[in-house]
Amino acid sequence: MSNNVMVHQTNSSVMHTYQRLPLTIVKGKGSYVWDQDGNEFLDYSSGIATCNLGHVPDSVHQKLREQLDNLWHCSNLYEIPTQNKLAALLTENSCFEQVFFCNSGAEANEAAIKFAKKYAKDRGYSERTEIVTFHQSFHGRTGSTMAATAQEKIHQGFTPLTPGFRYLTLNDDGALEAVNNGTTAAVLLELVQGEGGVNTVEQKWIKELSDRCKAADILLMVDEVQTGSGRTGTLFAYEQFGIEPDIMTLAKGLGSGFPIGAMLAKKSCASTFSPGTHGSTFGGNPLATTAGIATLEILLKENFLENVKVNSNWLRNQLKTLQANGEAIVNVKGMGFLIGVELKAEAGSFINAFREKGILVLSAGPHVLRILPPLTTTKEELTQFIEVFQAVLAEMKETTV
């Protein structure tokens, strides 16, 4: 969060790892949340791209209740039918054939990092000890995923970092040359950098990167923790780039708010993880996989993703009109309903102004406003959002002259 964001003081015994906003949300339904005083907010932050179907979606609610009555937890020592069903849904609707389940985005990326190391070993590439990641990326907060995240502010205080990561620059031709230096086992990247400023990879660049990886048997691993689960207007963002990655990681939107993560692999490399090589107590838990199944069934409904495309294009065009009509907006970035509005001013003051007018939005770096509507948002809500944006812009103009 940027410096301008109002931060409230707390005496809570919860460890102070977050700069929390002065708002306590106690209820959510659809596109709206309510605070403890009953104030209503249009939630265009979606729990950071997690509540993609809005809050407490009916069908997921229903299926979770049924599962609550039957079985909460079952060890991975036994067959778990809901895991098989969710894995089938994921693989039938992607280029991947096998799924490993875990509980979060960082864990999914940890799995991918371990996977890449073993893949190189199994293939006899003893000199391939590095994973290439990109500046301004975000891959998580655990030891290895923090080291994979090429942002100094994330590393501060936590050296020595887990070794084995090499950072290059997104959309840079030099990076294409540098990727295969003989030590690279895999490349890990976000197709739209979520936390790092809503930066989208260029189609030509990623295609070239993918070709070079394939030619050298370097694993291409996409972190779709934020871009997956319909967020960009297709089930997964990679579909829009004409590439087929070897590995994909998912979390955030996959369980509509119920914690779940996944790592998917193509058949050609999936046998890298054999019994005993990786695991998780909770990974693919019956409740979590039930939430995943119910979520995917909605995302895969006829016209659902088509609607996301139509509505997100409408929003993008409206934002571009706002950009053309004033000085405050520098750029409108992103894909589908993962939208970044780059501002001249600090994003924090805009976030506060939006909240005062009943709308929740986020930032991605100091000058980018990140807008993450639920994929189910209506045209009326989008219109309301644009009207409020106009009012915020007018207010900001007044305070700066």
Ligand X SMILES: *Cc1c(COP(=O)(O)O)cnc(C)c1O
Residues lying near ligand X in the complex (CB under 6 A): 104-106, 109, 138-140, 190, 194-195, 223, 225-226, 251-252
- As measured in angstroms, the least distance from the Cβ of 134 to ligand X is 11
Specify the residue for token string 């929390």.
20
**Which residue's CB comes closest to ligand X?**
105
Backbone angles phi, psi at 330, to 5 degrees: -90, -35
Exposure of 236 in the CB half-sphere (CA atoms within 13 A)? 25
Give how far Cα 250 sits from Cα of 12, 55, 230, 254, Å. 32, 19, 11, 7
- As measured in angstroms, the least distance from the Cβ of 103 to ligand X is 8
- As measured in angstroms, the least distance from the Cβ of 141 to ligand X is 6
Nearer to ligand X by Cβ, of 190 and 246: the residue is 190
Q: Strand 219-223 relative to strand 359-360: parallel, antiparallel, unpaired?
A: unpaired
- As measured in angstroms, the least distance from the Cβ of 395 to ligand X is 30
Nearer to ligand X by Cβ, of 70 and 281: the residue is 281
Nearer to ligand X by Cβ, of 94 and 103: the residue is 103
Among candidates 156, 208, 204, which has minimal Cα distance to 187?
208
- As measured in angstroms, the least distance from the Cβ of 81 to ligand X is 25
- In angstroms, the CA 168 to CA 132 distance is 7
Alpha-carbon Rg for the chain in angstroms = 21
Nearer to ligand X by Cβ, of 121 and 141: the residue is 141
- As measured in angstroms, the least distance from the Cβ of 154 to ligand X is 11
The two structure tokens encoding residue 252 = 């955030």
Among candidates 76, 88, 143, which has minimal Cα distance to 114?
143
- As measured in angstroms, the least distance from the Cβ of 139 to ligand X is 5
The two structure tokens encoding residue 386 = 């644009």
Nearer to ligand X by Cβ, of 104 and 349: the residue is 104
Nearer to ligand X by Cβ, of 82 and 229: the residue is 229
Number of H-type helices and E-type strands within the chain: 13, 17
The two structure tokens encoding residue 342 = 């780059």
Nearer to ligand X by Cβ, of 193 and 376: the residue is 193
